[in-house]
Amino acid sequence: MREKEPFDLTGQVALVTGTSRGLGQYFARALARAGADLVLTSRDRSSLAPFEAEIRSMGRRAVSLELDVQDFGSIERMAHAAHAAFPQIHILVNNAGCNVRKPALAVTWDDWNKVLDTNLRGTFFVAQAMARSMIEHGYGRIINIGSVTSVFGYAGLAPYGASRGGVRQLTMSLADDWGQHGVTVNCLAPGWFRTEQNKVLYENQEWVDYLVDRIPVKRPGEPRDLDGAVVFLASESSRYVTGQTLLIDGGISTGATRATTTKPGGKAG
């Protein structure tokens, strides 16, 4: 592969799962701004039409594909279609995910299966499907999207935390497995960002104040805070980085900040 500018993705193709909304779209935009063409995926392919048009308006090639990461057949069909559109996929951002926010005693069998099947099993089998071609070409960048819950536990998030912790461990295993073939695998772990999954929390100002009090930089994350990290992990600049979990969390994982406010619900921080 020819030598390029460290963060230039021109001529490369990135596949981002879960791009119908939320952080998936921000990841895709950041990669497109860096020069990458895009494969966009969602369970509802028609929902991607406006975003595909946006990516094309940036001067990038883009295709939209249907993908249900809970369905192995859907994963295989998506991989085949992606390679029909672009012979080589250089970058995978494994972003598709879901959450069930409940006290642990209220979590059902179906809740558990939905979250683990989407966030962990889906992540693995999408990575596997795309890695086959990456290994053949001797080059690939796989970015699994984790969370601050990949390394810390939070009440009400037992299935989600288990799945994201699993993504972190999976990342290390795949990095060890595929590094010899020129494929790096890393985990990008956002902290507290406002998304569709957690927007109800941000409607509670008391909770927001409680959260901000625990973040050293004193604010929740903004999507643009993730741009540099995803481009770095997708680029030649990260060629000697693999198996790592990169926390983009404003420092909340340091544990250094002690809140002075009272936790909503009555518990002190």
Give me 228's structure tokens.
Answer: 């540099």
Query: Among this protein's residues, is 26 annotated catalytic?
Result: no
Return the minimum-mean-pLDDT range out of 46-60, 163-177, 209-223. Answer: 209-223
In the chain, where are the structural domains located? 13-194+219-254
Share of the chain above pLDDT 70, in %: 93
In this prediction, residue 256 carries a pLDDT of: 55
Given 26, 139, 154, 160, the catalytic residue: 160
Beta strands in the chain (DSSP E): 13-16, 37-42, 62-66, 91-94, 140-145, 183-190, 245-248
Q: What is the dihedral of CA 199, 195, 227, 17, to 10 degrees?
A: 180
In this prediction, residue 269 carries a pLDDT of: 32
Looking at residues 3-17, what average pLDDT do you find?
90
Q: Which residue has the tokens 């600049």?
A: 237
What is the rounded distance in angstroms from the CA atom of residue 164 to the CA atom of residue 93? 15
On the CB side of 89, how many CA atoms lie within 13 Å of its CA? 28
pTM above 0.85, yes or no: yes
What is the rounded distance in angstroms from the CA atom of residue 40 to the CA atom of residue 96? 11
Give, in order, the Cα–Cα distances in Å from 194 to each of 200, 223, 234, 260.
9, 8, 24, 23
In this prediction, residue 263 carries a pLDDT of: 52
Residue 265 in this model has a pLDDT that exceeds 50:
no
In this prediction, residue 4 carries a pLDDT of: 64
pLDDT in tens, 197-248: 677 778 788 888 888 888 898 988 888 999 999 999 999 999 999 999 999 9
In CATH, which superfamily holds the domain spanning 13-194+219-254?
NAD(P)-binding Rossmann-like Domain (3.40.50.720)
Based on C-alpha coordinates, what's the Rg of the chain?
18
Residue 139 in this model has a pLDDT that exceeds 70:
yes
Looking at residues 61-75, what average pLDDT do you find?
97
Contact 192, 252 (CB under 8 A): yes
Return the minimum-mean-pLDDT range out of 42-46, 224-228, 265-269. Answer: 265-269
pLDDT in tens, 94-135: 999 998 989 999 999 999 999 999 999 999 999 999 999 999
In this prediction, residue 266 carries a pLDDT of: 35
Give me 107's structure tokens.
Answer: 């979590």
In this prediction, residue 154 carries a pLDDT of: 84
Contact 235, 8 (CB under 8 A): yes
